[in-house]
């Protein structure tokens, strides 16, 4: 009696499974119940090839992310992450799709955040904000401070077409690869067009950097009397639209707290400690889309502490015209050594630094960074010449 019940129960479960499979598959094939919906959902493989030669001069990618948006306003975005960098194969249903690729995974970035990824046109990368520069936040509490973004390189492809015929051929090839289905699909597969393939290859996509690198030099007379320096580059773009590569309108300021001092050389090849420059390097999304190229579009706010450890000099330097072409750089133009060419911002401090007595009669070494500004700052505003 128990064996008969088990047999009936097993038969009922098999019948339910067969009926469920028949209902869940909307496309009909004459392959019998055993082979029904073996390739569900019905998709075709699309191979997207990627060429990173425009980026390898900057950094060797260790992986990539691909976002795909169907253009039917029904299906949702898909995300593909892979450690392979030469190609990725997407299984797509029939329809039209937009896609973009960028280096690394979007979760690996420490200084960039991604927004609006549900929409192709509005997907955006932004720098993360920081509050570490208290010396600047006190001066401009309403200005957003942004970290320097890591390298982000992108390329896009629009209107990828996947036809019903491509999907059908992919299903036939899948079924033909199964021993039990080969004989049943051989005749039908032979009728397909000779110039139609189930695997559609696209590209290669050639990602280029949407991050810019800027070297900033401040040339100073009486450089010996400078102890430390901080600055902030104001009016820079907070982010960039990934699909178009266009910077956003929102603005941030980048704090610049690490500087290198370089003395000039005299005619004998020795250091002239009264002349030279300080230098720093910054990465940024560039200037905002509303940038007009006028000097006042960007300010370099600079704050110097002199070797007496009490004299502080501050200045706002309009530099909008000097960074107006920043967005035109993407790292693809190389110098004779094969290194990317990035712009340089050179500024002359308008007056020699005041001659002050070093604290404790010391030589007043240059402390790279914020340093100690003291409790009683003496701020001297120097007008632009």
Q: Give pLDDT tens digits for 225-244.
A: 999 999 999 999 999 999 99
In sequence order, which residues have a C-beta less than 8 Å from that of residue 267 and are 6 or more positions away?
none
**Please, are residues 28 and 36 in contact by the beta-carbon 8 Å criterion?**
no
Interior angle at CA 91, CA 54 and CA 160, nearest 5: 55
Structure tokens at 230: 């901080």
Place of tokens 């982010």: 239
Sheet with 112-115: list strands edge to edge: 112-115, 124-127, 239-241
The winner for highest mean pLDDT among 132-146, 160-174, 287-301, 353-367 is 287-301
Q: Which band of pLDDT confidence, cut at 50, 70 and 90, is reported for residue 197?
A: low
User: What is the per-residue pLDDT for 171?
Assistant: 85
Structure tokens at 346: 């050179």
More confident position, 247 or 364? 247
User: What is the per-residue pLDDT for 175?
Assistant: 80
Share above pLDDT 90 across residues of the chain, in percent, rounded to a whole number: 68
CA–CA separation, 176 vs 179, rounded Å?
A: 7
Q: Which of 36-50, 70-84, 147-161, 335-349 has the lowest mean pLDDT?
A: 36-50
CA–CA separation, 43 vs 87, rounded Å?
A: 18
| pLDDT tens per residue across span 147-182 | 999 999 999 999 999 999 999 998 888 787 765 545
| pLDDT tens per residue across span 246-273 | 999 999 999 999 999 999 999 999 999 9
User: What is the per-residue pLDDT for 139?
Assistant: 77
User: What is the per-residue pLDDT for 23?
Assistant: 41
User: What is the per-residue pLDDT for 198?
Assistant: 64
DSSP bridge partners of 112: 127
CA–CA separation, 174 vs 178, rounded Å?
A: 7
Which CATH number does 28-109+150-205 carry?
2.60.40.10
Among candidate residues 138, 143, 147, 146, the one with its CA nearest the CA of residue 303: 138
Q: Which of 95-109, 219-233, 285-299, 371-385 has the lowest mean pLDDT?
A: 371-385
Structure tokens at 202: 């696209």
The winner for highest mean pLDDT among 20-34, 121-135, 190-204, 270-284 is 270-284
pLDDT at 3 over 80: no
pLDDT at 277 over 50: yes
Q: Which of 32-41, 59-68, 93-102, 253-262 has the lowest mean pLDDT?
A: 32-41
Average pLDDT, the chain: 83
Place of tokens 């450890």: 309
In sequence order, which residues have a C-beta less than 8 Å from that of residue 137 and are 6 or more positions away?
131, 143, 145
Share above pLDDT 70 across residues of the chain, in percent, rounded to a whole number: 77
pLDDT at 41 over 80: no
pLDDT at 35 over 80: no
pLDDT at 78 over 70: yes
More confident position, 180 or 98? 98
Residue 139: is the preceding peptide bond cis (ω within 30°)?
A: no
CA–CA separation, 259 vs 219, rounded Å?
A: 12
User: What is the per-residue pLDDT for 184?
Assistant: 54
pLDDT at 81 over 70: yes
The average pLDDT across 184-206 equals: 64
In sequence order, which residues have a C-beta less than 8 Å from that of residue 343 and are 6 or more positions away?
212, 214, 215, 323, 325, 326, 329
CA–CA separation, 241 vs 247, rounded Å?
A: 6
User: What is the per-residue pLDDT for 73?
Assistant: 75
Q: Which of 278-282, 296-300, 361-365 has the lowest mean pLDDT?
A: 361-365
The average pLDDT across 137-151 equals: 88
Interior angle at CA 100, CA 95 and CA 106, nearest 5: 125
User: H/E/C letters for each residue in the chain?
Assistant: CHHHHHHHHHHHHHHHHHHHHHHHCCCCCCCCHHHCCCCCCCCEEEEEEECCCCCCCCCCCCCEEEEEEECCCCCCCEEEEECCCCEEEEEECCEEEEEEEEECCCCCCCCEEEECCCCCCCCEEEECECCCCHHHHCCCCCCCEECCCCCCEEEEEEEEEECHHHHHHHHHHHHHCCCCCHHHHHHHHCCCCCCCCCCEEEEEECCEECCEEEEEEEEEECHHHEEEEEEEEEEEECEEECCCCCECCCEEEEEECCCEEEEEECCCCCEEEEEEEEEEEEEECCCCCCCCCCHHHCEEEEEEEECCCCEEEEEEEECCCCCCCHHHCCCCCECCCCCECCCEEEEECCCCCCCCCCHHHCCCCCCCCCCCCCCCCEEEECCCC
Structure tokens at 336: 């004779």
The average pLDDT across 100-105 equals: 94
The answer to whether the predicted template modeling score (pTM) of the entire model surpasses 0.75 is yes
Which sequence spans correspond to the domains of the chain? 28-109+150-205, 211-381
Neighbouring CB atoms inside 10 A of 255's CB total 22
């Amino acid at each position: 009696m128990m064996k008969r019940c088990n047999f009936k129960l097993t038969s009922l479960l098999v019948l339910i499974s067969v009926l469920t499979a028949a209902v869940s598959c909307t496309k009909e094939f004459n392959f019998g119940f055993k082979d029904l919906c073996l390739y569900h959902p019905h998709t075709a493989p699309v191979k997207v090839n990627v060429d990173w030669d425009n980026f390898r001069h900057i950094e060797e990618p260790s992986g990539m992310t691909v976002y795909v948006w169907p253009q039917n306003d029904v299906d949702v975005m898909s995300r593909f992450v892979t450690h392979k960098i030469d190609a990725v194969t997407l299984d797509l249903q029939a329809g039209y799709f937009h896609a973009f690729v960028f280096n690394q995974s979007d979760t690996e970035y420490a200084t960039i955040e991604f927004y609006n990824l549900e929409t192709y046109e509005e997907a955006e990368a932004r720098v993360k904000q920081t509050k570490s520069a208290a010396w600047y936040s006190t001066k401009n509490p309403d200005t957003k401070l942004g970290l320097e973004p890591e390298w982000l390189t992108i390329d896009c492809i629009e209107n990828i077409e996947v036809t019903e015929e491509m999907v059908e051929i992919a299903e036939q090839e899948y079924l033909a690869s199964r021993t039990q289905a080969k004989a049943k699909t051989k005749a039908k597969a032979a009728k397909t067009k000779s110039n139609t393939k189930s695997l559609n290859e696209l590209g290669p996509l050639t990602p280029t950097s949407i991050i810019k690198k800027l070297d900033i030099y401040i040339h100073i007379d009486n450089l010996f009397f400078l102890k430390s320096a901080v600055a902030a580059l104001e009016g820079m773009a907070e982010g960039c639209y990934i699909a178009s590569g266009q910077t956003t309108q929102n603005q941030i300021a980048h704090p610049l707290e690490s500087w290198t001092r370089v003395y000039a050389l005299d005619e004998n090849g020795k250091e002239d400690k009264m002349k030279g420059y300080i230098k720093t390097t910054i990465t940024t999304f560039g200037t905002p889309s509303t940038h007009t190229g006028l000097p006042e579009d960007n300010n370099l706010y600079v704050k110097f502490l002199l070797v007496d450890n009490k004299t502080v000099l501050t200045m706002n330097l309009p530099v909008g015209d000097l960074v107006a072409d920043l967005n035109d750089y993407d790292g693809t133009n190389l110098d004779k050594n094969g290194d990317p060419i990035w712009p340089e911002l050179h500024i002359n401090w308008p007056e020699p630094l005041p001659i002050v007595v070093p604290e404790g009669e010391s030589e007043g070494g240059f402390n790279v960074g914020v340093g100690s500004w003291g409790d009683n700052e003496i701020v001297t505003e120097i007008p632009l010449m």
